[in-house]
Amino acid sequence: MALEGTAHLGLPMWFHWELSIGKFIGGIILVLPFIPGRIKEWAYVAFGIDFISAFIAIVAVDGIAGAWYMPVICFVLLIVSYIYWHKLQDRDTAVTA
C-alpha cells in the first residue's frame, strides 16, 4: 500500500526506500532511552519535516479530497509525543537535582 501511495504521488522508488530507512532509524532513536537528547530532538525535527512534506505532496497531487488528514494526524501525535518527552525530561531532571 505504501508503494502504491508513493508511486501515485510520482515519487521514485529510491525515495520510498530512503524514507522507510529514515523512519525506521528515527523510530529506534526515539524509543531507546540511552540516546542523547540532542539526537532525539533532531529525530523529532526530521519526522516533523516528513509529515509536513507528506501533507503538501498529497494536497498538491490529490487536492483537499485526498487523504491529507493522515499526515496531519501523525504530526499531531508527534507534537504530543514531543511535549510529553520534554515533561519526562523535566521530571527526571527535578528528581535528580
How would you write the pLDDT of the chain (97 residues) with one tens digit per residue? 767 777 888 888 888 889 889 999 999 999 999 999 999 999 999 999 999 999 999 999 988 887 889 999 999 999 999 999 999 888 877 777 6
The widest CA-to-CA distance across the chain, in whole angstroms, is 53
Rounded Cα distance between 10 and 61, Å, is: 9
* Crossing angle (nearest 10°) for helices 69-96 and 37-62: 170
Q: Name the residue range of residue 62's domain.
A: 2-96
**What are phi and psi for residue 19, nearest 5 degrees?**
-65, -40
Q: How far is CA 88 from the centre of its chain?
A: 20
CB 43, CB 30: distance < 8 Å: yes
Task: Give the number of domains in the chain.
Answer: 1
> Whole-model pTM?
0.86
59: amino acid identity, one letter: V
